[in-house]
Amino acid sequence: MSNVEAKIRISGKVFGILVDSERAIAYKEGKTTNIMEVLASTEVFTDVKKGMRAGAAELDNSFSTTDVYKIAERIMSGEIQAAGVQVAAEEVLEM
**pLDDT tens profile 8-39:** 999 899 999 999 999 999 999 999 899 999 99
Q: How confident is the model at residue 47 (pLDDT cuts 50, 70, 90)?
A: very high
Provide the β-strand partners of residue 17.
Answer: 6
| pLDDT value, residue 89 | 45
SS3 call for 86: strand
Note whether 18 and 2 are within 8 A (CB). Answer: no
SS3 call for 47: strand
For the cut 60, the answer to whether the pLDDT of residue 84 exceeds it is no
| pLDDT value, residue 91 | 46
* Reported pTM: 0.82
Tell me how far apart the alpha carbons of residues 48 and 4 are, in angstroms, rounded to a whole number: 10
For the cut 70, the answer to whether the pLDDT of residue 93 exceeds it is no
